[in-house]
């Protein structure tokens, strides 16, 4: 999965190794190019299984299979974990002041702005 060697048993470890390899180049890293975390992969697999069951005509509660209800609309649960430890996110994105759009430091590295982004506020 994700181009990992067959002997690799941990998506999170492969994600770390991929990150380490990309940082050696001393270039900006698009976080979206990294493999999913275990938590994100689990939620994706739940949604895939749910969709398969829908196609087969089986009735399951989508909220138990990777979906959440928001204003009467089903939204995918992308992960049950934060993207990084809170302290790290605060160090990196706490005061993004370069402006919204392509100048925003959050977006430059491939992360959607959040409320902790000092300028954009999500």
pLDDT in tens, 60-110: 999 999 999 999 999 999 989 887 777 766 655 545 555 555 666 666 666
**By the 8 A CB rule, do 49 and 24 touch?**
no
- What pLDDT was estimated at residue 55? 97
The token pair at 53 is 């069951």
- What pLDDT was estimated at residue 88? 66
- What pLDDT was estimated at residue 64? 96
Model confidence band, residue 8 (pLDDT cutoffs 50, 70, 90): confident
- What pLDDT was estimated at residue 59? 94
This prediction's pTM: 0.64
- Residue closest to 78 by CA, chosen among 122, 120, 118, 32: 32
- The residue ranking higher by pLDDT, 15 or 59, is 59
Residues 6+ apart with CB under 8 A from 70: none
What is the rounded CA–CA span in Å between residue 89 and residue 81? 13
Question: Using one digit for the tens of pLDDT, what is the confidence trace for 10-48?
Answer: 888 888 888 888 888 777 778 788 888 889 999 999 999
- The residue ranking higher by pLDDT, 69 or 116, is 69
- What pLDDT was estimated at residue 91? 59
């Amino acid at each position: 999965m994700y181009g990992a060697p067959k002997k690799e048993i941990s998506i999170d470890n492969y994600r770390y190794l991929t990150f380490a390899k990309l940082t050696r180049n001393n270039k900006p890293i698009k976080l979206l190019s990294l493999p999913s975390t275990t938590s994100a992969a689990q939620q994706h697999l739940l949604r895939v299984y749910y969709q398969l069951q829908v196609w087969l005509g089986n009735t399951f509660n989508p909220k138990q299979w990777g979906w959440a209800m928001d204003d009467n609309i089903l939204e995918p649960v992308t992960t049950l974990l934060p993207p990084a430890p809170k302290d790290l996110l605060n160090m990196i994105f706490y005061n993004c002041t370069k402006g919204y759009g392509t100048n925003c430091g959050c977006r430059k590295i491939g992360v959607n702005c959040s409320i902790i982004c000092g300028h954009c506020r999500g």
